[in-house]
Amino acid sequence: MNVGIISVSDRAFEKVYEDRGIPEIEKIFSIDQDFNILKKEIIPDDKEKIKNKLIEFCDQDNLDIVVTTGGTGPSIRDVTPDATLEVIEREFSGFGEYMRLESFKYSKNAILSRQTAGTRGNTFILNLPGNPKSISEILPLIMDQLKHFIEKR
């Protein structure tokens, strides 16, 4: 299963600090040999740029899974879910609900997260938070469902 990762962060894009979301996602996906990370990019918190990158990863690169990290919070600059909802054809809201539920066990602020998931063509798009600790708490819990979706599509 071919995977692409998009980190959405103004400060990481501008190299104010090093992105930590992509390495955490890579670490988790590397545990299962069925997943191959083929593409990864860091882009700013800009809805049009996010939409264009999602479309590129889905329509041109034909990746099975595209994972975003960052831009899912309550800030006005957090527009990853908005961009995702504009490019997906079918929403799978259960992923966002489950991730918030699991994250809520660690932080009550998880209720402020707006992450979502859905499909564009044959590609599954999943929004994850930007915090590596949050990624490590929730991504391993949904790996089987990602595989199941790709196998059954």
Which domain CATH number covers 45? 3.40.980.10
Report residue 26 CA to chain centroid gap: 12
Strand 117-120 with 123-128, pairing: antiparallel
97-121 pLDDT tens trace: 999 999 999 999 999 999 999 999 9
User: Any idea what DSSP says for residue 64?
Assistant: S
Continuous segment of H or E residues that includes residue 8:
strand 2-8
Any bridge partners for residue 124, and if so which?
Answer: 65, 119
Q: What is the pLDDT of residue 153?
A: 81
pTM score: 0.96
78-90 pLDDT tens trace: 999 999 999 999 9
Tokens representing 145?
């469902």
**How high is the mean pLDDT of the chain?**
97
Amino acid, single-letter form, for residue 68: T
Q: CA 1, CA 123: separation in Å to the nearest integer?
A: 10
Is the Cβ–Cβ distance between 54 and 48 less than 8 Å? no
Q: What is the pLDDT of residue 67?
A: 99
Which stretches within the chain are classed as H helix? 10-13, 21-29, 47-55, 80-87, 93-104, 132-152
Q: CA 100, CA 94: separation in Å to the nearest integer?
A: 10
Q: CA 134, CA 140: separation in Å to the nearest integer?
A: 11
2-52 pLDDT tens trace: 999 999 999 999 999 999 999 999 999 999 999 999 999 999 999 999 999
Q: Calculate the alpha carbon distances from 110 to 15, 67, 99, 116 in Å.
A: 27, 19, 9, 13
Q: How many structural domains are present in the chain?
A: 1
Q: Which domain holds residue 132?
A: 2-152
